[in-house]
Amino acid sequence: MAEGLIAGLVVFTLASFVGFEVINKVPPTLHTPLMSGSNAISGIAVLGAILISGKGNVTVTSILGTIAIALATINVVAGFLVTDRMLQMFKKKEVKA
Amino acid sequence: MSDFLPSAIQLGYLVAASLFIVGLKQLGSPATARQGNVLAAIGMLIAIVGTLLEKQVVSYELIVVGMIIGSILGTIMAKTVAMTDMPQMVGLLNGFGGAASALVAVGEFWRYLSIPESPTPDATITILLGVLIGGITFTGSLVAFAKLQELLPGAPMTFPLQQPFNALLAIALLAGSGYMLTNPENVPVFLGLVAISNILGIMFVLPIGGGDMPVVVSLLNSYSGIAASVAGFILMNNMLIIAGALVGASGIILTQIMCKAMNRSLGSVLFSAFGSGGKTAAAGGAAGATDKTVHTIDIEESAMMLGYARSVVIIPGYGMAVAQAQHAVRELADGLEKMGVDVKYAIHPVAGRMPGHMNVLLAEANVPYPQLYDMDDINPQFEETDVALVIGANDVVNPAARYDTASPIYGMPILEVDKAKHTIVIKRGMSAGFSGVDNELFYKDKTMMLFGSAKDVVAKLVAEVKQL
């Protein structure tokens, strides 16, 4: 068993508990923005894509990585922008009230 | 000095991870939600910049190309998508995230092919796991997207020998994975496993009915996080592991909340064929429907009923949102309030197609927040309500959910509009709801049907109410 794997599992488990606790109490109003916001964070896969596609020479790996970068960037950019668009509407209404 | 950059990158990751956690926390409260989203976005920016500085990243051409394409497409999508299409949008974006993680896993496999060194069993396992979870997320999300976008029928799709077929896929997956552990560089077997993973995603979502799609999208959101986390294991990158785990956990919590709202266990959503039991019930209902009578009402009469009521509860559904009638509905509510009518909105937890979806749509139309009532708060009030105005909602007001054990929506908490003194239902026609079930509410004596497109009908109601 590689030590790195164990260290990764420790980080993964602790981060999962943080995720559970952070999101425990959310009013239903915000479920949709929360879903799209956390979805944007899952676009973090772009990091992995950058790491495999920036190694220098053009290979199958770097091509796959580039496609992955494009897809994950869509996920990140669209996710955050659309969440902001939704939340903006709530804001507008609060000012009125 | 050479140690400085790696440490700085790791510290940057730590800052980014903290921003994600604080951002998610703030997304959970209305006052801070927008700021939370911005914080998470800043965290993402820091994480990406940090990764670009990693020493193994030496060429930037392909990265820049990928990021520019992604940014342009992403911006266009975010700016143009209609609020009603939000569930599909999240579904599709999920699919992209899952695909990216799967591609990272496949890419890493190919990198091992080009170097003399073979992947260790650890590496093989994480790569296969990345392919599996990423692949399921990708194709599953595409099917969910197609169902929500109505490119595929919303009804559950089954075919003969589906279970044996799935079992066969699972066995092939396990056998292939086992083989890969001893022959880690076998390309045909690897490609076979990639294909199986993608087929599993399709098989996983196809048999789930459209009514349960929000749960599926939410679960896939969780998967896309876990897939990113697995990519982190493959590349030994803590940032990926942490962010992926956060999303994985949040998706599971949201999925549970949604299941609770629909009074269904996650297991029954995923494994009992919502439709196979439902089809017979729906068919029975439709047959019975022919000898039941429907009371219709015209616009003028509806306007009178609404205008001279003391209290009106509006039940907005997805149909209202599709017709883009939320602005007209608010005008109608304003007009009624001017006449002294007490107007409230009843929001079912799964109104629209995702939890909280209806709140977003009504916020878009500037409906005052205090007028929105959750199901538990409004249900006891229906008995004193003069008119319940159902606009494009169906399954969430179906009384059969209370007692008809044969109904596929049995047990789902509903808005008890049938207890109001009168009910007016605005609907395009007598078609069944998203779950494919007939609604007996429409045949009750107290219920009057007002047929037409929600937008037209409500606009005419607004004009009529003004003349009262």
Q: Do B239 and A47 touch (CB under 8 A)?
A: yes
DSSP-derived letter for residue B384 is: G
User: Which residue among A36, A76, A97 places its CB closest to the CB of B44?
Assistant: A76
The predicted structure's pLDDT at residue B261: 67
pLDDT digit string (tens) for B410-435?
A: 777 888 888 889 899 988 877 766 66
Put simply, whether A95 touches B (Cβ < 8 Å) is: no
Token digits of residue A43: 């676009």
Tokens for B242, please give them. Answer: 């942490």
Asked if residue B44 lies in contact with residue B228, where contact means CB atoms within 8 angstroms, the answer is no
Q: Which of residues 15-74 of A touch B (CB under 8 A)?
A: 15-20, 22-74
Q: B276 versus B350: which is more confidently predicted?
A: B350
Q: Which of A44, A57, A81, A93 to mutate to test the interface with B (most CBs of B within 10 A)?
A: A44
Please report the pLDDT score of residue A94 as a whole number.
Answer: 47
- Report CB contact under 8 Å: B74, A74: yes
Of B206, B191, B189, B203, nearest to B155 by C-alpha is: B206
Q: φ, ψ for residue B441 (rounded to 5)?
A: -55, -35
Six-digit token string for B399: 């009384």
Chain A residues close to B99, C-beta within 8 Å: 68, 71
Q: Is A10 on the interface with B (CB under 8 A)?
A: no
3-state SS record for B13-32: HHHHHHHHHHHHHHHCCCCC
Distance from CA of A95 to the nearest CA of B (A): 10
Lowest pLDDT segment from B88-97, B328-337, B432-441: B432-441
Active site residue B377: no
Q: Which residue of B has its CA nearest to A43?
A: B97
Task: Give the span between the Cα atoms of B72 and B63, in whole angstroms.
Answer: 14
| pTM: predicted TM-score of the whole model, two decimal places | 0.80
CB B128 within 8 A of CB B108: no
The string of DSSP letters for B230-282 reads HHHHHHT-HHHHHHHHHHHHHHHHHHHHHHHHTT--HHHHHTS-HHHHHHHHH
Q: Are B152 and B143 in contact (CB under 8 A)?
A: yes
CB nearest to B104's CB, from A40, A42, A52: A52
Asked if B224 lies within 8 A of A87 by C-beta distance, the reply is no
Q: What percent of chain B has pLDDT over 90?
A: 39
Nearest to B88 by CA among B99, B79, B77, B73: B77
Query: Which DSSP category does B149 fall into?
Result: T
Asked whether the predicted pLDDT for residue B72 surpasses 70, the reply is: yes
Which residues of B are less than 8 Å from A3 in CB distance?
A: none
Place of tokens 């609907």: B427
Bridge partner list, B424: B389, B448
Alpha carbons A41 and A29: distance in angstroms, whole number:
20
Residue B13 has pLDDT above 90, yes or no: yes
Chain B positions touching A43 (Cβ under 8 A) are 44, 93, 96-97, 100
What pLDDT sits at residue B402?
82
Tens-binned pLDDT, residue by residue, of chain A (97 aa): 567 789 999 999 999 999 888 876 677 677 788 888 989 999 999 999 999 998 877 788 999 999 999 999 999 999 999 999 988 877 654 444 3
pLDDT of residue A68: 95
Whether B314 shows a pLDDT value over 50: the answer reads yes
**Least confident stretch, B65-79, B241-255, B437-451:** B437-451
pLDDT in tens, B186-223: 999 999 999 999 999 999 898 887 777 878 888 999 99
Cα A85 to Cα A74, A75, B77, B418: the distances in Å are 16, 15, 12, 36
Write the pLDDT tens digit of every residue in B238-263.
999 999 999 999 888 888 877 776 66
B270 token code pair? 């995923």
Report CA-CA distances (Å) from B272 to B206, B265, B266, B372, B377: 13, 10, 10, 34, 31
- Quote the Cα angle for B273-B275-B276, to 5°: 70
Mean pLDDT of B273-285: 39
Hey, are the CB atoms on B86 and A32 less than 8 Å from each other? Answer: yes
**DSSP codes joined into one string, B66-108:** HHHHHHHHHHHHHHH--GGGHHHHHHHHHHHHHHHHHHHHHHH
Assembly ipTM? 0.91
Pairwise CB contact (< 8 Å): A33 & B245: no
Residue of B nearest to A38 (CA): B247
Q: Are A55 and B103 inside 8 Å of each other by CB?
A: no
In this structure, are residues A17 and B18 in contact, taking their beta carbons and an 8 Å threshold?
A: no
Taking the CA of residue A65 and the nearest CA in chain B, the distance in Å comes to 6
Decide if A32 and B359 are in contact by the 8 Å CB cutoff: yes
Burial (Cβ within 10 Å: 0-12, 13-18, ≥19) of residue B142: buried
Using CB atoms, pick whichever of A26, A61, A81 lies closest to residue B110: A61
| From B85, B212, B395, B438, the catalytic residue | B395
Q: Using alpha carbons, select from B136, B154, B155 the residue that is nearest to residue B221.
A: B136
Rounded Cα gap, residues B396 and B380, in angstroms: 16
Query: Measured between CA atoms, how close is B293 to chain A, in angstroms?
Result: 37
Instruction: Measure the CA–CA gap between B276 and B254, rounded to whole angstroms.
Output: 26
- Residue B158: phi and psi, rounded to 5, are -130, 160
* Interface residue A12 vs chain B (CB under 8 A): yes
Q: What is the mean pLDDT of chain B?
A: 85
